Structure 1
Amino acid sequence: MSADGGAVLVTQPAPAGVVVGLGGVGKTQLAAHYARTAWQAGNLDVLVWITATTPQSIITGYTQAAAELLGADPADPQAATAFLAWLEPKAGQRPCRWLVVLDDVTDPADLNGLWPPPSPTGRTLLTTRRQDAALTTGRHRIPVGVFTPAESLAYLTRALPAHTEPDGQLTGLAHDLGHLPLALSQAAAYLSDTSMPVTDYRQLLADRTTALRDAAPPALPDGQALAVAATWSLSIEHADRLPPVGLARPLLQLAAFLDPNGVPDTVLTSTSARAYLTCHRTSPDTPARIPVSPGTGTSEQEVPGRDARMALSVLRRFSLIEHTADTPHSAVRVHQLVQRSVRDTLTPDQRNQTARTAADALTEAWPKIESDTVLAQALRANTTALTSCAEDTLYEPATHAVLYRTGISLGEAGQAAAARDHFSHLVGATTLRLGPDHPHTLATRNNLARWQGEAGDAAGATTAYADLLSDHIRVLGTDHPHTHIVRNNLAYWRGEMGDAAGAAAATADLQQHMVRVLGTNHPDTLSTRSNLARWQGEMGDAAGAAAAFAVLLDDMVRVLGTDHPLTLNTRNQLASWRGEAGDAAGAAAAYADLLQDRRRVLGTEHPDTLTNRNNLAHYQGESGDAAGAAAAFADLLQDRRRVLGTEHPDTLTTRGNLASWRGEAGDAAGAAAAFAVLLDDMVRVLGTDHPYTLTAKNNLAAWRGEAGDAAGAAAAFADLLQDRRRVLGPDHPLTLTTRGNLASWRGEAGDAAGAAAAYAHLLDDMVRVLGTDHPYTLTAKNNLARWRAAAEATTPEWSDKGRPGHEPDCETGAGNTTLLSRKPERARERT
């Protein structure tokens, strides 16, 4: 009936409402608000509230309602049944508007035979952490989550009117507490009781030596029964009793050390994770086993992957985790305070073992080739979460491999500066914990030097490798494999600084050493031969480099086989240097043949396969088909954006290659416009001094000149020359090239005599730095003659040989090598 006794519109019975969510999100408060609002509005005749944690508590609540409404004897065992019967609508009787709230149902079986009947004028509302189908099927499921950031801030602002901290501190506190309503309420009570500043309370929460219970108020607010730290303990106990018995708790312990925003399924079901579950399974029938280290073998009753997945399902049913199978890279989410409370229950030894197992599981789930950028990002985020709560453990007894893998993953994702910073931190940590001469400290310094160079600081990388080589020789000796690696990398970065002759000499010396120590057929010796051939080409002898790679290829096939990565890379190098020696059509054909093999052996999205497509497109253009090259680079750009992301250096470089070949196909103005946009992105992503950024500045200047603005091109090259001298030094080949481009565009702008004079000075430096027979030197001679003739003639003629050229776009090639891409990408092998 209505509140005033009027007529009632009889409708179909409404399904029961089931309010589900994590403990602490405010399910009870939401149900209470709904019930209070309905009662105060006069929409209810009967309101029954029952704390439904056990079957007996439900029966007791029904019995009490029968006594009050029907006058039943509280001792009558049929009183509860009588109450449920009274709730059923009956023909000819006045309808009763009732609401039965069953708060905190812990087990669906507790309601067997005790559900209130469906009624068009009655409602049933449950609150529960359980998400079993037995509770929710055919009923209205009402999920309740944490507060939004705005709701959290509004709550804390109201609850802490006396606190004067800026909103930024309250916003930070809400984030620290994961926007959990119960935690916000208890934090506000603690701050009010103690008058502690919010900043100090946040430091208390962040202190890993402080248990979560120490941040609870002495008296709980609003009639709350449990502090945050104890809120989920009963759910964990219940979950651990369900099949597969004894697995829910240890699986949640593993998840407690990983990213609360998403753990890949493959991590928690890995061999390492299942070995941990096997050793820590607890139940009366399955006592805890002696811990074992993953990879050393487990007991015969190793937990199968099916049981690990079932344990995830159990945790989800108790709302202890969120499990979304259709997003496998972030399938498992655990509230950060649940994680904290679980970690607080572990002894120091248990924490250490669980943290290292989590690290083992991450390493196991990490693919060798990161073709899935979303997965790689998720694994890095999980490593960051693990490090934030258990970093010290990851250096005992030695630096865990996951710390190295994370840094390398950052670099391979195109974040060279982030990789450099990661390894810089790691060097400090390993030096402090393991000592400066520990092999892991030396290995970490090697990685730091590498990514320092990849981030654009070739000089810094060279210095770092020189220092590292001295320490390797002192600590490990001259013949240790790691010493060979450092010598190889030192030679490489000397070459990247512009000293190809010095790199070749150092590599030749290393090759003799490798032959003596390892023999002529060792893969590292063969790799050193490849590097030596590469530097021979960089010194200007492209034909000699091609000949050396042809001989090396025969040895690679004989020793390693046709499909070995080093063999395929040698074919890449051979094709490249044949093209540099003048056989563009032959290089294109070789790259087309190699592309088929790389797709077959490595797959279509492997970085080497994508590099191969870059090189094929380049030589397609060099063979005379500029439009075809542009089309091929447009296709490659789509794939690199999909596989690597829009801001990966390889993707940015492909944009440059596409712009250049569109310019070569006749659209110089379009190429200039594309490089102007690309340069902004290069500066934002890589920084102003990165080699790729400087290359984009070079090509923007050149295409402006090609589009008709010779004076603008000259001004841009003058500006670039200052940067090149500052970053690379006055004698670097690219600095010398920039001087040549500046001279040529000044000539094109009308100052032929000035261009000739500039080339005369440049030629002297070219001879001194590169030698008389280097191609750059010969080009400078040609341009000097051209501009001298132009200065003496009324109408200068255009010399193709002397035409101001475009600098190649830089790209990361196979083997993690920074190379020039309008020259094809080449790889340096690491010994």
Structure 2
Amino acid sequence: MHHLDLNEQPGAPVTEMVDTTAPVTRGVPSVWGSVPQRNKNFTGRETLLADLRERLTGKVTAVLPHALHGLGGVGKTQLAIEYAYRYAEDYDLVWWVSADQQPLARSALAGLAPRLGLTGVAAGRLEDVVPAVLDALRTGRPYARWLLIFDNADQPETIRELIPQLIEGTTHSPGHVLVTSRNHRWESQADVVEVDVFDRDESLAFLKRRVPGIGTDDADRLAVELGDLPLALEQAGALQAETGMRVEDYLRLLAKEASKLLAENPPSDYPVPVAAAWALSVSRLSEQLPFAMDLLRRCAFFGPEPIPRDVFDRGRSVIDSPLRASLEDPILVSRAMRELGRYALARIDNRNKSVQVHRLIQRLIREELDEEQSAGMQREVHELLAAADPLDASDPANWPRYEELLAHVIPAEVVSSAHPRVRRLFSNMVQYLYETGDYTTCRQLVELAIDQWTADPGQDERDVLRMRALKTDVLWQLGHYSEAYNLRRPTLDRMRDTLGYEDEDTLIVTSGHGADLRVRGEFAAARDLDEDSLARHLRIFTAEHPRTFNIANNLAVDCGLNSEYRRARELDEKTYQDRLDFYGADDHPSVIFSLSAWARDMRQAGDYVAGRKTAEQAYQRYQVLLKSGGRRFTETHPWVLLAAKDLSVARRKAGEFESALDLGKEVHEKYERTYDKRHLDRLAAGMNLGNALRARDELEEAANVIMETVARYKESLAPSHPYVHGCALNLALVQRQLGEVAAARELLETSRAGLETSLGQTHHYSLTCVFNLANVHAELGDWERARQLDEEALAGLEKRLGQQHPHTIACAANLSLDLSALGKTEEAEQRQAEALQQYTAVLGPDHPDVQAAAAGRRVDFDFEPPPL
């Protein structure tokens, strides 16, 4: 027999978990997550359980999930719960997913990552974590016997992408997927097990267990009138068990309520017995404790997931109704919760301090209210949710609370409110989704808010502008850079017109616009914008504010992109010190981030030795942070990966080719596993790997990696972007070493023209191209042209970078070879001696480039795309 306990929803998560590294033994699954509490009164349903078990473990396993299908109230969820407990020992992992809202389903699945030992995925990025989880399940590593249960998946398309797909060439999955749903469309997509009402014996057994002392005849009469529907039987059993009402009286009242319902408000997709039984329970509860009914009506406007009870406690001060006084009485609140549970109108979870109302009960309550009552109660629920807002979605400590609220923000239609506090909650929820990397859901909610708030004639334009700004951030993260620019530009203009240039929201969007300009290759414009923005930040926020630190960092990036390496170094050194003073710890993530940026500036300014040493410090500090066990940072967090990639570059520039390549391979593999193929940081890691392979003379592989990366840069950025031309320069270096000299020359000439058009002739990137073009002409034996190009590059590099920069010295050394080939021996020897002396002083005698120059070989230098 099956006992429904009112509610087909999952309870609070089970927090006691077994370490995934422990050996798997029979008995208790190593991972047991969020499965609702087992119903101690569950009996019957044996045929269904046996049928389900046979299908899930059959030799021929369906590609699609197995689905429990049936109308609301028949006990699909309770059957799934019983299956999980009864066959728990046959699984290493059992995981429950509430699937009626895609954001909740995605988040629940992402919660599996640490239980699967997936440390190599970016923390807080659902777009990356979910695929990694699905891949681990699909391949059966580390658990080959797993069970995923998707509860209330009424829209197949909502969870289709969350179901592990079969490995190509196999006929079955290592695990099982079970879905509960009311939707008939699952019949075309899954192996469906129909769940009907109880058979009569199950109904009788249930009622005898639920209502002590009830006779067989009375139980049979109740089962007949209630259509053997489990939810209706639970309602009836609870009322009679708690009140001692005679069956005759209950049936008389039931007939009256059913007739009334059919005459006045015939149900559409739920059975009459549910509504009739519910009406009787509500009537008795209203007589005994009206406040409990008031609470229940408010619960009807939350989502069907567990409602944290402290939502009512925190929100009592904002409620402007008679309910406020009752909420301030904790004894009365506790009694009301107890009564709701007694009459099976809500599921009370005292361990997790939550209350949960079945979706059918919620609908019945809402339908009995008039429009004015509904609007008022929905407004109160919005205010209760807003009062529970932690107010800072960027702090990971607040993410569990936002996860709880997310379950209700969408069903409660929070987006429809114009109240400032409620709008703030919705904005913070969108920010939370952005911070945790659920960009797909974030974009959906942003667009919903923009559409609804724009259509509201009384809307606050600031709210709409904030949403548009958030949308641009999401588009940027998704790699839609042109679309982000086209939205952010007019949004920024409107903010400046209506809010002013120095409004806090305007300044935030201004910072994002600087990134847009960098992606467009407009490096000088980005620098000018951020220069002005920094001055405004200093006036509005002062020098000791995280936002000021951020814009100072951005300006340093701009300076580097405009070949102003010394100023970039000065800015980042100051920002590092400012952040260190502000946060008071050298292991704070933002402090380490600035240290890594400072190291990059040292390298770009030509101080390879100090740059490598500082980059090592930043990398090691991140490693210590990772070992501290914090959830915020993993080995594939974008800051951690950026520091590792920059260290690989720094090692190579310092002449440590082997260790640079080892780290470059490791970093690139992590980027490939974690980020989209067009992600700019992933592409930069690919270019670093190609350059590291070339430095180790692994030319064929280097050519393949660089060629692929250049192609993807063209997809992600405009074909005319400086990075496309700079990376093409790297490809030309490999081509020349492979003997494809003519192709290298053509590519370098094209890149030179593109770089000089976008950045000018004196930009470091343009001069780098001229330098390498001289090497190509030398390879072709055109020494006069090589000399002209080397002299042109040398003059520009001395002015741009100074005489002690390794690039300047390398160019002087190469020029000495041109002069020697042209018969100008004396001048050549003098230049070579000077170059070697400077080279040795800057890099040391053992550096490969110094040794190459001493041996009379030409020196190359490549392009490393900095972060945008």
Query: Structure 2 length normalisation: TM-score?
Result: 0.54
Cα deviations across residues 712-761 of structure 1 (Å, max 9, x unaligned)? 76567556545533542133232123322332343354312321332233
Name 1:50's counterpart in structure 2: 218
Aligned position for 2:302:
258
Counterparts of 1:262-411 in structure 2, within 5 Å, are 262-263=305-306, 265=308, 268=311, 271-272=314-315, 274-275=316-317, 288-289=322-323, 302-304=328-330, 311-323=336-348, 332-346=355-369, 347-360=373-386, 363-364=389-390, 368-370=394-396, 377=403, 379-387=405-413, 391-392=415-416, 394-396=417-419, 400-411=423-434
Task: Determine the structure 1 residue equivalent to 2:614.
Answer: 586
Distance 1:591 1:358 in 2: 45
Indicate conservation of the 8 Å contact 2:291/2:326, yes or no.
Answer: no
1:486 aligns with 2:509: yes
Deviation at 1:468, TM superposition (A): 1.7
Does 2:438 align with 1:415? yes
Q: CA deviation at 1:785?
A: 3.8
Alpha-carbon distance in structure 1 between the residues aligned to 2:513 and 2:462: 18
1:425 partnered with 2:472: no
Q: State the Cα distance separating 1:493 from its structure 2 match.
A: 1.9
Which of 572, 577, 582 is the aligned partner of 2:593?
Answer: 572
Alignment of 1:336-735 (within 5 A): 336-346=359-369, 347-360=373-386, 363-364=389-390, 368-370=394-396, 377=403, 379-387=405-413, 391-392=415-416, 394-396=417-419, 400-434=423-457, 438-514=461-537, 527-552=550-575, 562=584, 569=590, 572-582=593-603, 583-589=611-617, 592=620, 604-607=630-633, 613-614=640-641, 617=644, 664-665=661-662, 674=669, 682=675, 686=676, 689-691=678-680, 714=703, 721-735=710-724
In 2, Cα distance between the equivalents of 1:237 and 1:20? 31
Aligned equivalents of 1:444, 1:592: Cα separation in 2: 38
Alpha-carbon displacement from aligned partner over 1:31-51 (angstroms, at most 9, x marks no partner): 73358999xxxxxxx974226
Is 2:149 aligned against 1:106? no
Classify 1:506/1:102 alpha carbon distance in 2 versus 1 (closer, same or farther; 3 Å).
closer
- Aligned match of 1:166: none
Task: Describe the superposition over 1:256-306 as per-residue Cα deviations: whole angstroms up to 9, x where unpaired.
Answer: 22332x23536645512x557x876xxxxxxx35x5xxxxxxx597244x8
Alpha-carbon distance between aligned partners in 2 of 1:714 and 1:513, rounded to the nearest angstrom? 46
Q: Is the 8 A contact 2:446 2:470 kept in 1?
A: yes
State the Cα distance separating 1:585 from its structure 2 match.
1.3
Whole-Å Cα distance in 2 between the matches of residues 521 and 717 of structure 1? Answer: 42
Aligned-pair distance for 1:695?
A: 5.6
What TM-score do the two structures reach when normalised by structure 1?
0.56
Runs of 5+ consecutive residues of structure 1 not aligned to the other structure? 1-15, 39-45, 55-100, 115-124, 129-181, 194-210, 281-287, 292-298, 630-659, 809-818, 821-831
- Check whether the contact 1:257–1:386 (CA below 8 A) recurs between aligned residues: yes
SS of the aligned residue for 1:419 comes to helix
CA distance change for structure 1 residues 616 and 710 in 2, over 3 Å: closer, same or farther?
Answer: closer
- Supply the distance in 2 between the matched residues of 1:697 and 1:592 (Cα, whole angstroms): 22
Distance 1:214 1:35 in 2: 25
Map Cα deviations across residues 442-491 of structure 1 (whole Å, 9 max, x no partner): 22222222222222122332232221232223323344333333333322
Task: Report the counterpart of residue 742 of structure 2 in structure 1.
Answer: 753
The answer (yes or no) to whether the contact 2:615–2:646 under 8 Å persists in 1 is yes
Number of the residue aligned with 1:738: 727
Matched position secondary structure for 1:550 = helix
Corresponding residue of 1:32: 200
> 1:786: Cα distance to partner?
3.9
Do the aligned partners of residues 542 and 378 (structure 1) sit closer, same or farther apart at CA in structure 2, a change above 3 Å counting? farther
Task: Look up the match of 1:215.
Answer: 267
CA offsets 1:590-620 (integer angstroms, 9 cap, x no match) = 56568879999xx823359966654665566
Distance 2:474 2:641 in 1: 23
CA offset at residue 426 of structure 1?
1.6
Question: Which whole-Å deviations, capped at 9, do the CAs of 1:311-339 have from their partners, x for residues lacking one?
Answer: 545434433334556778xx654321111
Instruction: Answer with 1 or 2: which has the greater Rg.
Output: 1
1:385-420 Cα distance to aligned partner (Å, 9 max, x none): 222xx653x235786223212322222222334423
Tell me, yes or no, if the aligned pair for 1:251 and 1:268 is still in contact at 8 Å.
no
* In 2, Cα distance between equivalents of 1:616 and 1:491: 22
**Contact persistence 1:363–1:402 (CA under 8 A):** yes
Question: Closer, same or farther in 2 for the Cα pair 1:540/1:308, shift >3 Å?
Answer: farther
Once the two structures are superposed, what CA deviation does each residue of 1:71-115 show, in whole Å capped at 9, x if it has no partner? xxxxxxxxxxxxxxxxxxxxxxxxxxxxxx997352546669x9x
DSSP 3-state at the match of 1:49: helix
Q: Distance in 1 between matches of 2:479 and 2:349?
A: 41
Q: Would the aligned equivalents of 1:702 and 1:713 in 2 still touch at CA under 8 Å?
A: yes
How many residues align? The count is 573
Distance change >3 Å, CA 333–CA 430, structure 1 → 2: same
Instruction: Measure how far apart 1:502 and its partner are.
Output: 1.3
Answer yes or no: is the 8 Å Cα contact 2:393–2:435 preserved in 1. no
Tell me the alpha carbon deviations over residues 197-247 of structure 1, each in whole angstroms, 9 at most, x when there is no partner: xxxxxxxxxxxxxx9x34359xx99xxxx55444323334555677xx555
Q: Distance in 2 between matches of 1:719 and 1:621?
A: 20
Aligned-residue sequence identity (percent) comes to 18
CA distance in 1, matches of 2:703, 2:473: 35
Q: 1:514 to 1:697 in 2, by over 3 A?
A: closer
Q: Which amino acid in the other structure matches residue 215 of structure 1?
A: P
**CA shift in 2, pair 1:789/1:378, >3 Å:** farther
Q: How does 1:64-103 map to 2 (within 5 A)?
A: none
Counterpart amino acid of residue 578 in structure 1: A
2:344 counterpart letter in structure 1 = S
Q: Please, which of 208, 217, 231 is the counterpart of residue 277 of structure 2?
A: 231
Judge conservation of contact 1:446–1:465 (CA < 8 Å) in 2.
Answer: yes
Name the CA shift for 1:699/1:550 in 2 (closer, same or farther; >3 Å): closer
| Residue type at the aligned position of 2:279 | S
Structure 2 gap segments, 5+ residues each: 1-39, 46-70, 79-195, 207-213, 223-233, 604-610, 783-851
